[in-house]
Amino acid sequence: MTKRSLSTAAAGLVLGAAVSLLGTTGTAEAAPTGASAYATTVQAHSNLRDAPNTSSRIWGTTTKVTEAGVECYTRGQRVTAGGYTTDVWYFGTVIDYDIGHIYSNVWMWGGNVNVGADPAPGIPRC
């Protein structure tokens, strides 16, 4: 299995490319031309997983609201947390600047991704 996070030193090299991929934060928007992801944010304390279910491996947990690039969504395990229920899971990349990690190819439960609706309009199905 490939390692899903990069060290702080290596993360610095990737951040420049990732920032152009992510653009603004807060809502799902099309990324700049040529990128295949939608810029958004992920809630603090969100588990980043290997598959769209809560029994899959956790690659990391966000330390605060953090930037993400969402490539697509799928229907996975239905989860209820904080009064919200959805079976939508988003696939993409999350950058946690506080700990200097970039998590690539991870699944995020829809209730933790700030896109406004599940599934978010404009984000393709995986």
Mean pLDDT of the chain: 79
pLDDT at 98: 83
The domain containing residue 98 runs over which residues?
A: 8-112
- Look at residue 49 in the predicted model and tell me its pLDDT: 98
Residue type, 114: N
Question: Is 23 part of a structural domain of the chain?
Answer: yes
Residue pair 83/30 in contact by the 8 Å Cβ criterion: no
- Rg of the chain over Cα atoms, rounded to whole angstroms, equals 13
Q: In the β-sheet with 47-49, what is the strand arrangement from edge to edge?
A: 29-30, 38-42, 66-81, 84-96, 101-109, 47-49, 58-61
Q: For residue 95, how far is the Cα from the chain centroid?
A: 8
Percent of the chain scoring above 70 in pLDDT: 71
In a domain, 45, yes or no: yes
Number of domains into which the chain is organized: 1
Question: Is the pTM for the entire model greater than 0.75?
Answer: no
Instruction: Read off the pLDDT of residues 11-51 as tens digits, 9 standing for 90 and up.
Output: 333 333 333 333 333 333 333 333 568 999 999 999 999 99
Whether 13 is covered by a domain: the verdict is yes
| DSSP H or E stretch at residue 4 | none
* pLDDT bucket at 66, cuts 50 / 70 / 90: very high
**3-state SS, residue 66:** strand
